[in-house]
Amino acid sequence: MEFGKVYLLPTPIADKCPSVCLPSENLDCLLRCDVFVVEELRTARRFLRKAGYKRDFADVEFFVLNEHTLNEDLSPCIAFLREGKSVGVMSEAGLPCVADPGCTFVALCQREGFEVIPLSGPSSLMMALMASGFNGQSFAFVGYLPAEKSARNKRIRELETLVYRFNQTQIFIETPYRNDHLLESLIEVCSNGTMLCVACDIGGESQKIVSKSIAEWKQSKFSLHKKNTVFLLSK
């Protein structure tokens, strides 16, 4: 029997119809999936219906994968793949496995030798980098910065050092309700000539992507509270 395949299925990063931001071939791949590994059941099912997935959810297997999931919780998915059923992996928004727990399941599938097929779709990280005007030849995504202020400020200094030492764009994110605290720390810690791009609500109606020097940011009033935001540092 032929094994099932693992499809990495991007989802919209703003409240848009999937047909607006996802290739049509993605729907074909969706329809091949009998099993889904998702971050949150409700939003995953809503996306599937919007994307045109017609099957009765009672006949479809869903597994939740988040920071609390253990490898053994995903063992049934491996069994389904061995039976020839294909598995779709979805993030809450954007590309699965990028700043997303889906990488845990994909690593397991790679070790087991199953075919993993990544599909095209929106990535807020790459879209922010594209629009920033910063170095796209050398960049690093460093995830979340520390929540505690002194540790956060220390990490910002480290990232700014990397910017100047290697001419490397540094990309990071924050929990939306802490965005303004992070912006304040960046303005406080970084040199006036350092460039900061703030990209919020990418792909949505209220999208705003602004690149300015720290000196210019000090003269700005900008609230990012509860907005999905990507931050980028450059020289």
3-class state of residue 23 by DSSP: coil
pLDDT in tens, 61-114: 999 998 888 878 889 999 999 999 999 999 998 999 998 899 999 999 999 999
CATH number of 6-118: 3.40.1010.10
CATH 3.40.190.10 fits domain 124-234: no
Computed over every residue of the chain, the mean pLDDT equals 94
**Residue 21 Cα distances to 96, 122, 190, angstroms:** 15, 7, 35
- Annotated domain spans of the chain: 6-118, 124-234
Token pair, residue 62, equals 């869903």
pTM: 0.91
In the structure encoding, which two tokens stand for residue 208, read together?
């705003």
The tokens for 21 are: 């931001």
